[in-house]
Amino acid sequence: MNPADTPNENSPGKFGDYPHLLAETKEQIRSAQYEALKKVNKDLVGLYWDIGRMIVERQEIEGWGKSVVKQLSEDLRQEFPGVRGFSIQNLWYMRQFDSEFHDNERLQPLVGEIARAHNLAIMNKCKVIV
């Protein structure tokens, strides 16, 4: 038998269905990445909503003013260096988020389905939230 006739790893016939395997694997990876990103986004929106709720509650119960948001921002950024999202402005957005959507049970499940930045854009452009 001639060595050129012996199938090897680089032979086109050996992995005839390989392009399909590769395409299917890449699609599975992309799908899993997308689902993971959706889950992370939903969890982050929930976290930010909770932080906003805690700020609102403490301000109402304790009578705290605006300076608590500044202090909270400083302390969170010190505790979690390199983690973005705890600026004074973002904490105010979290507070506003809770204030706007707190009593709207129809919107609560929906806001977790879109990115926080999109929620903020909608909130800032809409005058009335149904």
Residue 11 lies in a domain: no
Candidates 129, 119, 127, 125; CA nearest to 52 is: 119
Distance CA 85, CA 20 (A): 41
Residue 84 lies in a domain: yes
Residue 66 lies in a domain: yes
The whole-angstrom distance between residue 3's C-alpha and the CA centroid of its chain comes to 56
Residue 64 lies in a domain: yes
Residue 73 lies in a domain: yes
What pLDDT, on a 0 to 100 scale, did the predictor assign at position 8?
53
Q: How many domains is the chain partitioned into structurally? A: 1
pLDDT surpasses 50 at 130: no
What pLDDT, on a 0 to 100 scale, did the predictor assign at position 9?
57
Helix (H) or strand (E) holding 57: helix 18-62
Residue 26 lies in a domain: no
Highest mean pLDDT among 14-23, 74-83, 110-119: 74-83
Q: Express each pLDDT in 56-105 by its tens digit.
A: 999 999 988 889 999 999 999 999 999 989 999 999 989 988 887 777 76
- The one-letter amino acid code at 65 reads G
Full domain range(s) for residue 94: 43-125
Q: CA-based Rg of the chain, rounded to a whole angstrom?
A: 25
Residue 19 lies in a domain: no
Q: Would you state the structure tokens that stand for residue 50, as one six-digit string?
A: 């909770």
Q: Is 32 exposed, middle or buried (0-12, 13-18, 19+ CB in 10 A)?
A: exposed
Residue 23 lies in a domain: no
Distance CA 116, CA 101 (A): 13
